[in-house]
Amino acid sequence: MTELEDTWWYCMKHHAVERYEGCRAADRLGPYATREEAGHALERVEERNEAWDEDPRWKDEEDEQ
């Protein structure tokens, strides 16, 4: 078993956690070390997006008006 075969992914097309052999990479988030981590993938995306939205290094001048 390769290192990637022992990982978990979140499929955005099917809204499901799957193993390495699942859907194509363009439809998935990951890899994650555990099934539980993959199950929380969308929460992680939302948290990161919020953090980036608040990061002054990514703010445009238009956003500040």
Distances (CA, A) of 41 to 31, 56, 60, 61, 63: 10, 25, 27, 31, 27
Give a yes or no: residue 23 inside a domain.
Answer: yes
**55 Rama sector, left if φ>0, alpha if ψ -120 to 50, beta otherwise:** beta
Q: Print the domain residue range for 43.
A: 4-56
Determine how many CB atoms are found less than 10 A away from the CB of residue 38: 23
- What is the tally of structural domains in the chain? 1
Give a yes or no: residue 22 inside a domain.
Answer: yes
pLDDT at 65 over 60: no
Give a yes or no: residue 62 inside a domain.
Answer: no
Give a yes or no: residue 64 inside a domain.
Answer: no
* pTM score: 0.76
Q: Which residues pair with 25 in a beta bridge?
A: none
pLDDT, tens digit (0-9, with 9 covering 90-100), for 4-27: 788 999 999 999 999 999 999 999
Give a yes or no: residue 61 inside a domain.
Answer: no
Residue for token pair 């929380």: 40
